[in-house]
Amino acid sequence: MKRKNNLKLAKEWFKIGEEELKFAQVFFKEFDSFYPQICFQCQQAVEKYLKGFLIYHGKKFPKIHDLVELIKLCSKIEKGFEKFLEDGAFLSQYYIRSRYPVEYPSPTKEETEKCLEIAERIINFTKTLI
């Protein structure tokens, strides 16, 4: 019964992550702008999927936004997540970078495209495990 409850809650996290990813994909395709927001949405989408994966497995996680730390937690359950550590570090920078314009330059179109590709890879991998 607990696993069923975990799946239900995990699916709620996945739904939010899916919406964030779709938002980022549509805005990237439709506009030649909004790169900081798109990168942020990619980071958020992956964060939701990683936390959903942990919830599905009945694991608690700290209230953090660091994808590297979340990937490390997920890799304790599934070693395959380890291959995403570098990608997680790349995406994690956009949690802060998109929020504080004085300290960080806006991401380029190429960086934004890379964020989308990374988010899609990590999310698709996570989906294969549920």
- Taking only the tens place, the pLDDT of each residue in 43-78 is 999 999 999 999 999 999 999 999 999 999 999 999
Mean pLDDT of the chain: 92
Domain segments of the chain: what residues? Answer: 2-128
CB 36 within 8 A of CB 96: no
Query: 2-128 adopts what CATH topology?
Result: Four Helix Bundle (Hemerythrin (Met), subunit A) (1.20.120)
Give, in degrees to the nearest 5, the angle at Cα 54 between 121 and 75: 60
Question: Of 42, 52, 49, 40, nearest to 94 (Cα)?
Answer: 40
Token output for 103: 């300290």
CA distance 51 to 14: 9
Whether the predicted model's global pTM rises above the 0.85 cut: yes
